[in-house]
Amino acid sequence: MSDFAALGTWLQPLLQRLSPQAQAQMMRRVAIELRKRNQQRTRSQVDTEGQPFVPRKSGDGQPMFRELTLARHFKTKATTNTAQVGFTGSAARIASVHNIGRTDVVNKARGLRYAYPRRQLLGISEEDQAFVQEVILDYLSVS
């Protein structure tokens, strides 16, 4: 991730050459594509490094996070300076528990808690970084 931060520092002066509208359009494109890539990984039950998710404890074979990958829960936001991908509402809490691997309440009435294994739902893979660099270079070459 430090390489990605270094790239951002290096590109910042170059991005200033783009109009605010072009910057926002570029960031919107990045955010939408990153959401698609994260959705595909989550549907495939793999993390950003290509490692499979730890299977459900019940072992029922059902894929996890089917609802979370829907666009109504998986939102994008873009400004001239940022591209954000994340979850909203209760989906954000569920995703956070799994993304970090925290302990959460399973049944409030009975006070049951479960320590969920880490299943990285959001992240930027090396392919994602290459895609972002490609988009930025495309926009800079047009300007």
Cβ neighbors of 124 (< 8 A, separation 6 or more) are 1, 4, 34, 48, 132
* pTM for the model: 0.86
pLDDT of the chain along its 143 residues, tens only? 455 677 677 777 878 888 999 999 999 999 999 999 999 999 999 999 999 999 988 878 788 999 999 999 999 999 988 899 999 999 999 999 999 999 999 888 898 999 999 999 999 999 998 998 899 888 888 76
Task: Locate the DSSP E strands across the chain.
Answer: 74-78, 83-87, 103-107, 112-115
